[in-house]
Amino acid sequence: MPSLLLLAGDGIGPEVMAATERVIDFFNRRGAGFELQRALVGGAAVDAEGDPVSDETLAIGESVDAMLFGAVGGPQYDGLPYEKRPEAGLLRLRKHFELFANIRPAICYPALADASSLKREVVEGLDIVILRELTGGVYFGEPKTIEDIGNGQKRAIDTQIYDTYEIDRIARAAFELARARNGRVTSMEKRNVMKTGVLWREVVEAAHKDGNEDVKLDHMLADSGAMQLVRDPKQFDVIVCDNLFGDLLSDIAAQLTGSLGMLPSASLGAVDSKTGRRRALYEPVHGSAPDIAGKGIANPIAMIASFGMALQYSFGMITEAKALDAAIAATLAEGLRTADIAHGAKAISTDEMTDAILGNLEKAL
Ligand code: IPM
Ligand code: MG
């Protein structure tokens, strides 16, 4: 039976996860047979278990086919030491399961083109993917410290490190992804100031020459890439970049689509040669939104669409994944909006949005 671990987390996490569970139940009523387990993560896990993700939770994660992750964090956790921050739980999950490939699609639904801060013609029909390296770079490089250096001065150090194998595997993932799309990859780095950028480009080029020349490869400096992403985002197909640039560029890409509340993501590991399985965590790009938590008004679309990516990448349920995407698009086309995308028009609740998506799903399948 396909198995899932649900990690709802903090803030609006539990609300959008509950909405997604209704979608999972829908597929179960039709015989999909998803077996669900639940565990705590983030601040909720710190409160109950003393750690933002416990060893027991990681062990459950080992045993399932895929994990769904809601959101973590909240102002009440701001004073916690660095290792106990809710975000540390997410980083530990990424590192523990070596989820090096973070796929962040940015799709502008036609019904929402006016919700973007850019002109309709710039974003309408946008369909790009940011492929972010997720287990290396400055997020994890050591040393990572703040030290006292005397005279009332402190020194903070973060370390950006990339080894050849890390760049090679994300580059190959980019070519594979592009091959199933429009066949174009743009690699972004800062080779003009960073050694990691120099190696990044060199290794991406080598991976391209090694059996991937059917895909068109371009390079851009990441700052200029950020500008191009805002100027003319539709020029891109797949953008591949390191962990920190991917964090920044994917937020830009999110804004192009009109709402952070819309974007799903998949974080994938390598295929295990023994089990044939690929470790995977699916999460919305948005955060825990503490300001609206508990009000029942959060947009569940990014979380539901993240489950849609699980259907596609972990369970090979392509028809179902497409039907779910179509149901979301149809719901938006009907003019239904949660508060984050309503722009002054009448807003519906998380539950009402989920009802509407389920209704359209019923029709789509
Ligand atoms: C993201 C988030 C995380 C990151 C935070 C919550 C640690 O911004 O997934 O983009 O920086 O990777
Ligand atoms: Mg981010």
Tokens of 13: 């996490």
CA proximity to 41, closest of 65, 2, 77, 1: 77
CA dihedral 35, 99, 179, 200 (to 10 degrees): 180
Pocket residue to mutate for ligand 1, from 82, 247, 281, 306, most atoms within 8 A of Cβ: 247
Q: Whose CA is nearest to atom 11 of ligand 1?
A: 247
- Judged against a pLDDT cut of 90, whether residue 117 lies above it is answered with no
Alpha carbon of 335 to ligand 1 centroid (Å): 30
Quote the pLDDT of residue 271. 87
Distance CA 196, CA 158 (A): 14
Residue with tokens 């960073």: 194
Q: What pairing do the DSSP bridges indicate for beta strands 141-150 and 153-159?
A: antiparallel
The pLDDT value recorded for residue 257 is 87
pLDDT in tens, 41-60: 999 999 999 999 999 999 99
Report every protein residue that has its C-beta within 5 angstroms of ion ligand 2. Answer: 247
Could you identify the atom of ligand 1 that is nearest to the CA of residue 251? 10
What percent of the chain clears pLDDT 90, i.e. is strictly above it? 89
Three-state SS for the chain is: CCEEEEEEECCCHHHHHHHHHHHHHHHHHCCCCCEEEEECCCHHHHHHHCCCCCHHHHHHHHHCCEEEEEECCCHHHCCCCHHHCHHHHHHHHHHHCCCCEEEEEEECCHHHHHHCCCCHHHHCCCEEEEEEECCCHHHCEEEEEEEEEECCEEEEEEECCCCHHHHHHHHHHHHHHHHCCCCEEEEEECCCCCHHHHHHHHHHHHHHHCCCCCCEEEEEEHHHHHHHHHHCHHHCCEEEECHHHHHHHHHHHHHHCCCHHHCEEEEEEEECCCCCCEEEEEEECCCCCCCCCCCCCCCCHHHHHHHHHHHHHCCCCHHHHHHHHHHHHHHHHCCCCCHHHHCCCCCCCHHHHHHHHHHHHHHHC
Q: What is the CATH number of domain 117-257?
A: 3.40.718.10
Tens of pLDDT, residue by residue over 148-206, are 999 999 999 999 999 999 999 999 999 999 999 999 999 999 999 999 999 999 999 99
Q: What is the atom index within ligand 1 of the atom nearest the CA of 87?
A: 7
242 lines ligand 1 (CB under 6 A): no
Cβ of 252 closer than 6 Å to ligand 1, yes or no, is: no
Give the separation between CA 95 and CA 269, rounded to whole angstroms. Answer: 10
- Give the ligand whose atoms come closest to the C-alpha of residue 10: 1
Residue 259 has pLDDT above 80, yes or no: no
Does the CB atom of residue 98 touch ligand 1 within 6 A?
Answer: no
**Nearest ligand to residue 104 Cα:** 1
> Average pLDDT, stretch 228-246?
98
Q: Name the closest-CA residue to atom 10, ligand 1.
A: 247
8 Å CB contact between 99 and 93: yes
Distance 306 CA to ligand 1 centre (A): 16
Q: What's the angle, vertex CA 282, arms to CA 135 and CA 298, rounded to 5?
A: 120
Catalytic residues: 139, 190, 223, 247, 251
How many Cα atoms sit within 13 Å of 302 on the Cβ side?
A: 32
Would you state the CATH architecture of domain 1-108+260-365?
A: 3-Layer(aba) Sandwich (3.40)
Q: Residue 258 above 80 pLDDT?
A: no
Beta strands 216-221 and 184-189 are parallel
Gap from CA of 251 to ligand 2 centroid (Å): 6
Q: Residue 361 contacts by C-beta under 8 Å, 6 or more apart in sequence?
A: 23, 26, 323, 324, 327
Regarding the beta carbon of 87 and ligand 1, being less than 6 Å apart is answered yes
List where CATH 3.40.718.10 sits in the chain. 1-108+260-365, 117-257
Over residues 215-230, mean pLDDT: 98
Q: Give the ligand with the smallest distance to the CA of 137.
A: 1
